[in-house]
Each structure stands twice: as C-alpha cells, then as structure tokens.
Amino acid sequence: MIFVTTGTQLPFPALVDAVAAMANKLDERIIAQVGPDKTYRPDIDSFDHLDPDRYEAFFARARLVVAHAGIGTVLSAIKHQKPLVIMPRRFELGEHRNDHQNATARELEGRQGIYVARTEREIASYLLRNDLVPPNQGSSPKSAQLIGYLQKYIESAA
C-alpha cells in the first residue's frame, strides 16, 4: 500500500494528482490524506482528514509514503521506518505561505530513506522503484545533542 499525506492545513493537488496518475501502473492500493481538496480521484482512497489513530495505522501499513516536505511526516517516517518521498510545496505556485518546505527538502536531500521529488515525473519514477530503503533510525548525534542540552538546562533551572 502507498500512503500519501499532505498535512491537514492546505491542499496539495499537484502531489496527489502525480500519485493518482500512476495508479494504473501500480498493482497496489493508494490511500491519501489530502486536506481541504474536493477533487474526485476514482483510483485512490482519499480522506480530507485522518484522526491520529488511523494516520498512524496507515503509516505503519504502507510500503512507501509520499508526502509534502512536512517535518511531522519526516519524523513519522523515521519512527515507522518507511521510505519517504517528499515533494516540497512551493510558494510561487501558491502551495504554501512561504518557501520553507524547499529549505527543508534541500537540507534532507541525500539522507538515507528520504527521496526528494520536485516534479511529477520524479514522483512517478520513485513509485516504480522497488529498491527504496527506510531512513536511519535511532538518535542522530544532533538530536542527542539537543536532548542533552535541554535536559541540563531544565535541571539547572530555578
């Protein structure tokens, strides 16, 4: 199963359409959480919003997750050990209030298990690959640093 998620705040039809266009080439179910997007797409099962339980359940069952470049999604992919294809929302196309997803995608590009797609064609090629690997699990040195710093700060706080 392929799980598509665009977050709940804004629609991201370019991403959902890119996956839906591949439905007939993929012999698997596509489940999408599309946000406020009323487009009817017969080839995929879409939900505007998923409560946390179902979101986690779909995430856990997915072979591959395709998403906007949202940090929540990236952290979920690390937690659930799922290969993740991200497409940054672009400000100039009215897909977000600013261009921060582009910055996020640039920073994450090249990390194990995180695949950045900037076009419909790149999404399509990732969907057809069967060699995508999950992200690195466990605490990165940077996250251990942040947690350690906060812990000390809180302990020494008045």
Binding region for other proteins (CB under 8 A): 7-9, 51-53, 56, 70-76, 100-101, 103-104, 106-108, 140-151, 153-155, 157-158
Please, are residues 104 and 69 in contact by the beta-carbon 8 Å criterion? Answer: yes
Nearer to other proteins, 1 or 75 (CB): 75
Nearer to other proteins, 128 or 146 (CB): 146
Residues 6+ apart with CB under 8 A from 48: 8, 33, 34, 35, 36, 37
**Nearest-approach distance from CB 146 to other proteins, in angstroms:** 3
**Nearest-approach distance from CB 28 to other proteins, in angstroms:** 26
Helix (H) or strand (E) holding 9: none
Identify residue 111 by its one-letter amino acid code: R
Please, are residues 58 and 3 in contact by the beta-carbon 8 Å criterion? Answer: yes
Identify residue 114 by its one-letter amino acid code: I
State the residue for tokens 């302990």: 155
Nearer to other proteins, 83 or 127 (CB): 83
**Nearest-approach distance from CB 150 to other proteins, in angstroms:** 4
Nearer to other proteins, 51 or 131 (CB): 51
